[in-house]
Amino acid sequence: MYTKEEKEIMKKLVLCIRKFRKENNHSQNVFSEKINYEREHIAKVETGRRNLTLKYIIRTSIAYKIPIENIFKDV
């Protein structure tokens, strides 16, 4: 079980990744292809029904060619 603080951090990370996706005008389908995850997985992460993983974060960093620390910048 996650603490309230842990849930809040996860939510901020997801919002940051979603922001990168939207800034690039990518749908969940395009994003899923870029990071090699099923679109349904992306939807579940973005709605909080599935946990964000380090692998997901790393793949996002690589796909958008952004330093990984930028994902954590606003957390």
Find the mean pLDDT for residues 45-66: 95
User: Topology of domain 4-72, per CATH?
Assistant: 434 Repressor (Amino-terminal Domain) (1.10.260)
75 band by pLDDT with thresholds 50, 70 and 90: confident
Domain ranges in the chain? 4-72
C-alpha–C-alpha distance, residues 19 and 57, integer Å: 13
pLDDT in tens, 7-54: 999 999 999 999 999 999 999 999 999 999 999 999 999 999 999 999
From 49, 46, 41, select the one nearest 19 (Cα to Cα): 46
pTM of the full structure: 0.89
The pLDDT of residue 1:
84
| 55 contact partners, CB below 8 Å, separation of at least 6 | none
Does residue 56 register a pLDDT over 90? yes
The pLDDT of residue 32:
97
The pLDDT of residue 74:
82
